C-alpha cells in the first residue's frame, strides 16, 4: 500500500492542479481509512470539477466516518442532485439509502452504512 501512496503523492507533487491525481490520492487515502487526508484532496478535485458526483459521494462518506452528520447530509444531498441530473440510477439509490439513515423519520428508504 505504501508504494501506491508514494506513486499517488508523486503524481500530486508533479501535477498539483490535476483533479484526477487529487482524486486518485484521495480515494487511496479513503480506502485506507484516512478520512481527513482523503477529504483534503477530494475537496481540491471537486473545486476543479464541481459536477463530479463520485467525489461528492466520497466527501460525504468521509464526513459520515468522522461523525459530521450535517456535513455528510449536505454532501449526499448535493451528490443526489448530481446523480439525478446525470441520470445515474445506481448512485441515486445508494444516496437515498445513505440519506435515509441520516433522517430516521424516513426509514422506508433504508439505513445509512459506510459502504466500502
Mean pLDDT, the chain, integer? 88
Identify the pLDDT of residue 5: 85
Cβ neighbour number for residue 67 with a 10 Å cutoff: 8
Q: What are the structural domain ranges in the chain?
A: 1-49, 51-116
Predicted confidence (pLDDT) per residue in 71-111, tens digit: 999 999 999 999 999 999 999 999 999 999 887 554 333 33
Out of 2-6, 37-41, 87-91, 94-98, which region has the weakest mean confidence (pLDDT)? 2-6
Backbone angles phi, psi at 34, to 5 degrees: -95, 80
Identify the pLDDT of residue 1: 62
Identify the pLDDT of residue 113: 44
CA angle (37 as vertex; 34, 39 as ends), nearest 5: 105
Considering the entire predicted model, what is its pTM? Answer: 0.84
Cβ atoms of 101 and 112 closer than 8 Å = yes
Identify the pLDDT of residue 19: 96
Amino acid at each position: 500500500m505504501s508504494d501506491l501512496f508514494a506513486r499517488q503523492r508523486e503524481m500530486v507533487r508533479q501535477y498539483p492542479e490535476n483533479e484526477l491525481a487529487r482524486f486518485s490520492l484521495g480515494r487511496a487515502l479513503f480506502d485506507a481509512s484516512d478520512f481527513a487526508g482523503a477529504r483534503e484532496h477530494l475537496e481540491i478535485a471537486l473545486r476543479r470539477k464541481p459536477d463530479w458526483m463520485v467525489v461528492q459521494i466520497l466527501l460525504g462518506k468521509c464526513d459520515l466516518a468522522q461523525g459530521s452528520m450535517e456535513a455528510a447530509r449536505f454532501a449526499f444531498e448535493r451528490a443526489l442532485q448530481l446523480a439525478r441530473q446525470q441520470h445515474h440510477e445506481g448512485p441515486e439509490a445508494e444516496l437515498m439509502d445513505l440519506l435515509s439513515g441520516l433522517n430516521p423519520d424516513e426509514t422506508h428508504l433504508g439505513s445509512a452504512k459506510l459502504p466500502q
